[in-house]
Amino acid sequence: MAKDVDDGPEGYKALIEEVLEAYPDKAKKKRAKHLTVSAPDPEGEPDEATGIASKCDTVKSNIKSVPGVMTVRGCAYAGSKGVVWGPVKDMIHISHGPVGCGQYSWSQRRNYYIGKTGVDSFVTMQFTTDFQEKDIVFGGDKKLGKMIDELEELFPLSKGTTIQSECPIGLIGDDIEAVAKQKNKEHEKTMVPVRCEGFRGVSQSLGHHIANDAVRDWVYEKGDGGAAKEYEPGQYDVNVIGDYNIGGDAWASRILLEEMGLNVVGNWSGDATLAEIERAPKARLNLIHCYRSMNYICRYMEEKFGVAWMEYNFFGPSQIAASLRAIAKNFDETIQEGAERVIAKYQPLVDQVNAKFRPRLEGKSVMLYVGGLRPRHVVTAYDDLGMNVVGTGYEFGHGDDYKRTGHYVKEGTLIYDDVTGYELEKFIETIRPDLVGSGIKEKYPVQKMGIPFRQMHSWDYSGPYHGYDGYAIFARDMDLAINNPVWGMYDAPWKSGPAAIAAE
Amino acid sequence: MPQSADKVLDHAPLFREPEYKEMLENKKVKFECGHPDEMVKDVGEWTKTWEYREKNLARTAATINPAKACQPLGAVFAGAGYEKTMSFVHGSQGCVAYYRSHLSRHFKEPSSCVSSSMTEDAAVFGGLINMVDGLANTKALYDPEMIAVSTTCMAEVIGDDLNSFILQAKEKGSVDTDFDVPFAHTPAFVGSHIDGYDNMQKGILTNFWNKKDAERVADDSINIIPGFDGFAVGNIREMKRVLGEMDITGYTILSDVSDVYDTPSDGEFRMYSGGTKIADIPGALNAKATISMQEYCSKKTLDYCAEKGQETAAFHYPMGVKGTDDFLMKLGELTGKEIPESLRLERGRLIDAMADSQSWLHGKTYAIYGDPDFVYAMAAFIMETGGEPRHCLATNGSKAWAAQMEELLASSPFGKDCQVWAGKDLWHMRSFLNTEPVDILIGSSYGKYLERDTGTPLLRLAFPIFDRHHHHRFPTWFYQGTLTVLVKILDLIFDKLDDETIEPGVTDYSYDLTR
């Protein structure tokens, strides 16, 4: 199907103007600050790995969504319970408040883990105080305390409990911190109150930050060290931070780090145990994948415990190799040789994958709209397949995310921050990319338009996409999305072709 | 290296490869600091005991794996069933992302809904500005003919007054004064999604039927409220067919989502599709009667209809023989239409199928959970097949529901060993299935964890169904729908028997070709 817009900066700028016309004045002014086209950055240093220096910054980001526009964003609770804390497998995470939040987020993020669910692991369960009217009126602290006691009876092997606050908690003046302290004394287990009420902040993002702060306050500052006490650190100890093991991502990453000789002491927070969190400050280096959701605790660990941190990217072979080498630079020759060995070992797989899939994907255009690190991190994986990202945006990115995006995204890319349903639909409809990567809410509208789609939050129930093993799956999935015969069947044969058009 | 381009292994096979198994074992032993395997095994066994069940039943504060959602989900679902209607939820925005995802994951369809995106300042000062700006933006961007407003618990806790806010927004020109903005307060801390459905339905009818010039001039038509239903697409279409067979034309389905959650793929994304015509809502006031297909989704709405002078009747999810019989006879009584021979034949074909398969169904035991009306209908039908419900559970079931269930179960010898569990959750169900096992579990996708933990095969017939596709497109109501349900039960029974007898030379003497 023909595109309705000239690719390139001028066409995209005109498209932005056109889309903004639909808004009432007040909203139009606000939304204009979130849409842009990436430009060359004359002052920027080209990135070592990608050779790219572009300017992707929108005027505004990380500010309130405009009411009534159909933002895709979630809330602070989603950022804490859904992202940061929820995957910690041997703790129980209470959705504290009414039933809905816990219900809708139950088992939806695909944070894989190994464990006996309901016995020593609890990730795919929904624990809630199920607030009723009387709890709103009289407060929920007693119910919360009682619930923690009951959980202790029914799940004696849990290592602790987190309290994930839903909206009402902060509004009715409950003192969940007091409950946590009391229950910590009584049960001698880690108790973590998290003030991640959904109305705080403007998106999931503040929930990440609050959850990070809760790790700091209630595991490190108030904790007794736990499993860290008897741990003897080694010279090759690292933590993986901000990998939620979606479809097994963290496992496909860990195998590479171990193969190059590193010890992964903690993985945060996919498939994590509380012990992995407690021991993390003893590691030499924090490797951070999702910067957006977990940079806060890395900064804290650096300041407090002197643990250095660095960002890396395990999407696609170019970035994996660059990351493995960058990680190895922090260690001795043994590890540096290990990195080279790993890269060499997997190169034949990369070559095979590219040989098989690249010809089927070369030159295809992609639009992304996702959260966290993915709006930039997956761009180079598409590059590796010969695909071209023509538009990307962050659900809840900050200025520092857009800065970093300049190392990944070429000039002339359409950039949209906290995009609205209306904007995204118009952008996609006009640009008609060969593939869209976004979330479940976007999947079906896009597919109705006849455009192939992959969910890039849940990996569309596939994965892992991290690491070399993940790259093969990523390539296969993009191929099966784009090259399925269904997209060719949208027009009824009696409705297409010159005869049918002439008859209309 | 297990991975190759020729045969790409994704998560399911990949992590069973030796490299990964070794890596995961190493992680467990060196880094996780878990409990000894023996202890985990012992505690796991203990969770299956009667002792554990008693502890589990004794809890009063903890809810674990509930089978219910919150009110606004039902309100959004109800609003979606009206022509060109945008649901607008006043309060925190994350909630709306959740409702949309939840509905899309079940129906595999778009689900459109907006939020007024209230944040901390709105928590302090109220969300009036959010309402004013939000309605204007929604109208401008999505051009709805009606905006159906409900609330998240945040807006409810701070006490935002929807009526006053909407009036003020109209005064400020967000939408025209005569633009329809029905509303319903839908606090998440009261009831569940079925109450939100009820409240929104009442809100929409009130918006039209309480207008100054609205006056009821009774006619012979009827209104039908389908209720919150994961199979709504198939069921509402089947209902229209059955009404056609009855030669009933004077009817209005109040909230018809059948085309909303089933749009074609032909190159166009339809944000709105089908739905109850807004022009038909005012006239629905004149109906002789309003009938609800699900009593617990419509209590307040039916009371309101009765206040307006309409007759009302409520059913429990008309599935099964008697469930359908009762519905058709009531329909005949209200409309004066004879039940046609065609439906008597359909009934006969269903009975024929039940008779053909009765030996496989008789005496089978079941646990059933879901929304109250569904559980009622399912239990009733199971007893009609000679099956025995043993556990009937509705997390959002009331004492009144439990009493109705007891009455139903007492009406058949096949119901005598059944226990009714109102207000209990699926962690309770785990204990019930471990201590008093059944042959088949009927419920939603969440039941797959019970299938794993107790070995009870699961039949997915209740909302939400995330991990099987397209079942909602096929009806479960009336004789024809019941036939589908019957076949699903039989398939499960036969598949299980085949699985158990498939081992060559060991059990395959019973691997019969004809059953």
Q: Is a pLDDT exceeding 60 seen at residue B320? A: yes
> Does B135 sit within 8 Å of A124, measured CB to CB?
no
> Does A227 sit within 8 Å of B101, measured CB to CB?
no
**% chain A with pLDDT above 90:** 95
Residues in Cβ contact with A377 at an 8 Å cutoff, skipping those fewer than 6 apart: A289, A313, A315, A319, A408
Collapsed DSSP state (helix, strand, coil) of residue B394: strand
Put simply, the chain B residues between 304 and 363 with a CB less than 8 A from any chain A CB are none
Average pLDDT over residues B432-437: 98
In chain A, what residues touch B114 (CB-CB under 8 Å)?
Answer: 68-70
Average pLDDT over residues A339-345: 98
d(CA B326, CA B473) in angstroms, rounded, equals 24
> Does A252 sit within 8 Å of B14, measured CB to CB?
yes
- Cβ-nearest to A132 among B59, B98, B189: B189
Alpha-carbon distance B366 to nearest alpha carbon in chain A (angstroms): 23
Average pLDDT, chain B: 98
Alpha-carbon distance A41 to nearest alpha carbon in chain B (angstroms): 34
B418 catalytic per annotation: no
The answer to whether the CB of A427 falls within 8 A of the CB of A368 is no
Please tell me the predicted confidence (pLDDT) of residue B289.
98
Q: Is a pLDDT exceeding 50 seen at residue B172? A: yes
Q: How would residue A5 be classed by pLDDT, with cut points 50, 70 and 90?
A: confident
Task: Dump the DSSP string for A118-166.
Answer: TTTB-TT--EE----HHHHHH-SHHHHHHHHHHHHHH-TT--EEEEEE-
Please tell me the predicted confidence (pLDDT) of residue A3.
62
Please tell me the predicted confidence (pLDDT) of residue B190.
98
Average pLDDT over residues A479-486: 98
d(CA A461, CA A448) in angstroms, rounded, equals 20
The answer to whether the CB of A121 falls within 8 A of the CB of A113 is yes
pTM beyond 0.95: yes
Q: How would residue A2 be classed by pLDDT, with cut points 50, 70 and 90?
A: very low
Average pLDDT over residues B72-82: 98
Catalytic residue among A31, A34, A93, A109: A109
CA dihedral B53, B57, B63, B64 (to 10 degrees): 10
Interface A:B, Cβ pairs < 8 A: 359
A466 catalytic per annotation: no
Measured CA distances, A15 to A10, A70, A431, A482 (Å): 9, 20, 9, 25
Which pairing describes strands B146-151 and B85-90: parallel, antiparallel, or unpaired? parallel
Q: Residue written as tokens 């400050």?
A: A281
> Per DSSP, which regions of B315-372 are E strands?
365-369
Closest CA to A350 of A301, A306, A394, A316: A316
Q: Is a pLDDT exceeding 50 seen at residue A298? A: yes
Q: How would residue B311 be classed by pLDDT, with cut points 50, 70 and 90?
A: very high
Q: How would residue A4 be classed by pLDDT, with cut points 50, 70 and 90?
A: low
d(CA A257, CA A255) in angstroms, rounded, equals 6
- Cβ-nearest to B93 among A27, A73, A124: A73
Q: Encode pLDDT of A326-337 as tens digits.
A: 999 999 999 999
Catalytic residue among B95, B96, B153, B242: B153
**% chain B with pLDDT above 90:** 100
Q: Encode pLDDT of B183-235 as tens digits.
A: 999 999 999 999 999 999 999 999 999 999 999 999 999 999 999 999 999 99
The answer to whether the CB of B19 falls within 8 A of the CB of A255 is yes
Average pLDDT over residues B450-470: 98
- Cβ-nearest to B449 among A124, A439, A473: A124
Amino acid at B28: K
Catalytic residue among A31, A56, A76, A78: A78
Residue A172 neighbours by CB distance under 10 Å: 17
Please tell me the predicted confidence (pLDDT) of residue A8.
78
Average pLDDT over residues B238-255: 98
Closest CA to B271 of B139, B75, B112: B112
> Does B267 sit within 8 Å of A449, measured CB to CB?
yes
Please tell me the predicted confidence (pLDDT) of residue B21.
98
- Whether residue B402 lies within 8 A of chain A, CB to CB, comes out as no
Q: Encode pLDDT of A369-393 as tens digits.
A: 999 999 999 999 999 999 999 999 9
Q: How would residue A499 be classed by pLDDT, with cut points 50, 70 and 90?
A: low
Q: Encode pLDDT of A284-294 as tens digits.
A: 999 999 999 99
Please tell me the predicted confidence (pLDDT) of residue A504.
45
Please tell me the predicted confidence (pLDDT) of residue A496.
66
Q: Report ipTM (2 d.p.).
A: 0.98
A326 catalytic per annotation: no
A203: nearest CA partner in chain B: B94
d(CA A483, CA A476) in angstroms, rounded, equals 10
Average pLDDT, chain A: 96
The answer to whether the CB of A445 falls within 8 A of the CB of A425 is yes
d(CA B306, CA B313) in angstroms, rounded, equals 10
Average pLDDT over residues B149-162: 98
In chain B, what residues touch A479 (CB-CB under 8 Å)?
Answer: none
Please tell me the predicted confidence (pLDDT) of residue B1.
83
Alpha-carbon distance A486 to nearest alpha carbon in chain B (angstroms): 10
- Cβ-nearest to A147 among B1, B24, B62: B62
d(CA B229, CA B317) in angstroms, rounded, equals 9
Which pairing describes strands A35-37 and A127-128: parallel, antiparallel, or unpaired? unpaired
- Whether residue B176 lies within 8 A of chain A, CB to CB, comes out as no
Collapsed DSSP state (helix, strand, coil) of residue A1: coil
> Does A251 sit within 8 Å of B15, measured CB to CB?
yes
Q: Encode pLDDT of A174-212 as tens digits.
A: 999 999 999 999 999 999 999 999 999 999 999 999 999
φ and ψ of B430, to 5 deg:
-60, -45
> Does B136 sit within 8 Å of A68, measured CB to CB?
yes
Put simply, the chain B residues between 138 and 157 with a CB less than 8 A from any chain A CB are 138, 140-142, 152-154, 157
> Does A106 sit within 8 Å of B5, measured CB to CB?
no
In chain B, what residues touch A115 (CB-CB under 8 Å)?
Answer: 34
Q: How would residue B265 be classed by pLDDT, with cut points 50, 70 and 90?
A: very high
Q: Is a pLDDT exceeding 50 seen at residue A83? A: yes
Average pLDDT over residues A466-487: 98
In chain A, what residues touch B104 (CB-CB under 8 Å)?
Answer: 440-441, 443-444
Task: Dump the DSSP string for B448-500.
Answer: HHHHHHH---EEE-SS---SS-SGGGS--SHHHHHHHHHHHHHHHHHHHHHHH
- Cβ-nearest to A349 among B4, B70, B265: B4
Euclidean distance between the first and the last CA atom of chain B, given in angstroms as a whole number: 46
d(CA B88, CA B219) in angstroms, rounded, equals 33
Catalytic residue among A75, A290, A475, A481: A75
3-state DSSP of A3-60: CCCCCCHHHHHHHHHHHHCCCCHHHHHHHHCCEEECEECCCCCCCCCCCCCEECCCCC
Angle of the A467-482 helix axis to the A333-361 helix axis, nearest 10: 10
The answer to whether the CB of B222 falls within 8 A of the CB of B194 is no
